[in-house]
Amino acid sequence: MKKQRSAPRGVIVFCICIFLLTAVPAQAGEFSVTLLDANGGAAGDGVVSLTPKDASNSFAQEPLAEAVMDQMDKEFVPYVLPVRTGTRVLFPNSDNIRHHVYSFSKPKMMELKLYSKEETNAVVFDKPGVVVLGCNIHDWMVGYIYVADTPYFAKSDAEGNAVVPVLPPGSYEMQVWHPRLKGKPVSQDVEIPATGTVTREIRLPLKKKRNIKRHRRNNYKTY
């Protein structure tokens, strides 16, 4: 049998370069935002999303990766989980006790009855909006799933910074949501250039943080 000859190294490198060029838009900008509270403190766990205002600037329907909302040390982890509409979210239980997850939110009413560490449930979030999660066993447990009807979104880190990369140039409607926000999400128009980064600093009217330790201390349910 004749030994098959492999492609020359130069051809392989050329093909890789062509793939990279086609995988990333030829023109793409970036949006960077810093979220702060009224006093100038960092507002972590906020979600910023950008929706194209021009219908012709549609986004590709790429396969959606699964997301995970875990339960660890009697808390939802992460506290805020942003996903795109249609995402399948897994609900494992990493605790050595049982949990009973539920939501009465209109975008996704759900109930995952008592289940233990060996089990994992899954739910598809097919409508945009904010889904508030709770646990029927542990009253202090609260988590949020922000379902965005756009692929262009990001969550702010502990310093309040969030970056939405690889944005096609054009006009966008930006919305900022936070679990402690007073009133409706903040909305602004944003123009994304063909190259470069657009930066914004946004101050949010936020409610006071919940005293989780007090809630846990006053709740005797440990099973």
Report domain extents, the chain: 8-44+159-174+182-204, 60-149
Query: How does pLDDT run across 20-39, given as a tens digit for each residue?
Result: 334 445 688 999 999 999 99
Helix (H, G, I), strand (E, B), or coil: what is residue 98?
coil
**pLDDT, greater one: 24 or 11:** 24
Question: Tokens 């000859």 sit at which residue?
Answer: 5
- Domain at 8-44+159-174+182-204: CATH code: 2.60.40
For residues 112 and 122, give the distance between their C-alpha atoms in angstroms, rounded to a whole number. 9
Q: Which of 3-7, 118-122, 162-166, 207-211 has the lowest mean pLDDT?
A: 3-7
**pLDDT, greater one: 100 or 210:** 100
User: 49, 19, 30: which is closest to 197 by C-alpha?
Assistant: 30
Query: How does pLDDT run across 24-77, given as a tens digit for each residue?
Result: 456 889 999 999 999 999 999 999 999 999 866 666 667 789 999 999 999 999
CA 117, distance to chain mean position in Å, is: 24
How many Cβ atoms are within 10 Å of 53's Cβ, its own excluded? 13
Residue 38: the pLDDT is 95
Residue 13 dihedral angles phi and psi, to the nearest 5°: -60, -40
Share of the chain above pLDDT 90, in %: 74
Percent of residues in the chain assigned helix, strand, coil, to nearest 5: 10, 45, 45
The per-residue pLDDT of the chain, averaged, comes to 86
Structure token pair of residue 182: 């007073």
CATH class of the domain whose range is 60-149: mainly beta
> Does this chain's domain 8-44+159-174+182-204 share its CATH topology with 60-149?
yes
Structure token pair of residue 19: 């793939």
**pLDDT, greater one: 221 or 116:** 116
Question: Tokens 């492999």 sit at which residue?
Answer: 6
